Structure 1
Amino acid sequence: MNRISGGENIKVNKSLKNPTDLMNYTVPYMVAFIGVDLGDWPKVAGFLCFMLFMFILTYKSKQLFMNPILAVLGYSLYDVDYEVNNCTRSARILSKEDLVPEDRYRLLMLASLPIVTKKIN
């Protein structure tokens, strides 16, 4: 991500790390599907219905892009108020950096998701 060029310089006004509580609620339900036999179609259908329901929940809660792989790589989700080109905006931003108010960062839109690529000194 640090090698990607482009994006906009932003100044963070307010930053709040967004917890991934949704993942905490789904883990107990996932345990029920650990021993799913792929030959048992009713259980497979139940698992697929559950996964569809979880997709809808994560999509509606705008936490779709906070997945375990990104968490392992050190990315976090933030609710941020920031300034860009003398305009104040609010967004949910994915970042590997801790977003500190009054600091400046490079913001890149990747597949319509705002991602902070690096801190600007």
Structure 2
Amino acid sequence: MAIILAIQDIPKQWWSRPICKLTNLADGGCDFNPFGSPTLSLSFLIISTVAVFLAWTALRRISYPFLVDVKRAKATPNEIINYTFPYVVSFMGISYEDPQKLLGFVVFLLWMFAITYKSGQILMNPLLLILGWCLYEATIVINSEEKDVRVLKRSKLDLGSVSAQTIQDFYIIKG
């Protein structure tokens, strides 16, 4: 969303300007700050970049101390995305120059986070999809006990013995 807001923060006049060339750098003919609200645009871009890096790092550092046997698995569709995209699109007209719409969008995002967190549909997060993670409903055997669980795995979940970790109600499987 930070990228969309940053692009929307670039004034129309800036898009019609010629592309900077090396010869223009010396005479000051180039403007490297295209944003109408540079502090907000750059702040949110930096915060988003740091958040993506932290999520990527956290997912890479997970240890997998449990051995589980996957008996059955099926991919879980993300129905929640189907009805949230129309709401997200309705906020496409927001900008940093419109603080009341921006605040409304922040409230919407917090509300969606609360709903997805409580419902267990954490995979709605597009970041996990981009990083290659998939959500499955699976039947596993752990400590001689069979359980129906939700599983996050980077790539396809195959049947058989695998290493896993639990975080909240999810099993994360090494892959």
TM-score above 0.5, yes or no = yes
C-alpha RMSD over aligned residues: 2.4
Match of 1:10 in 2: 68
CA distances 1:9-35 after superposition (whole Å, capped 9, x unpaired): 111122121111211221121112122
8 Å contact from structure 1 (residues 11, 83) kept in 2:
yes
Cα distance in structure 1, aligned partners of 2:67 and 2:150: 16
Match of 2:95 in 1: 37
8 Å contact from structure 1 (residues 82, 90) kept in 2:
yes
Match of 1:93 in 2: 151
User: What SS class does the counterpart of residue 50 from structure 1 fall into?
Assistant: helix
Cα distance in structure 2, aligned partners of 1:89 and 1:111: 15
Deviation at 1:2, TM superposition (A): 7.6
CA separation of 1:61 and 1:110: change in aligned 2, threshold 3 A: closer
**Which range moves more in the overlay, 84-93 or 36-45?**
36-45
1:114 and 2:168 matched: no
- Show the 5 A alignment for 1:17-56: 17-56=75-114
Cα distance in structure 2, aligned partners of 1:37 and 1:2: 34
TM-score, normalising length: structure 1: 0.79
TM-score, normalising length: structure 2: 0.57
Match of 1:61 in 2: 119
8 Å contact from structure 2 (residues 76, 137) kept in 1:
yes
User: What SS class does the counterpart of residue 165 from structure 2 fall into?
Assistant: strand
Higher strand share: 1
Structure of higher RCO (CA pairs closer than 8 Å, 6+ residues apart): 1
Structure with bigger gyration radius = 2
8 Å contact from structure 1 (residues 66, 77) kept in 2:
no
AA partner of residue 173 (structure 2): V
Name stretches of at least 5 consecutive residues in structure 1 with no aligned partner. none
Match of 2:48 in 1: none
8 Å contact from structure 2 (residues 153, 174) kept in 1:
yes
CA distances 1:32-64 after superposition (whole Å, capped 9, x unpaired): 212212232321232122112211221122012
**Which range moves more in the overlay, 65-74 or 2-11?**
2-11
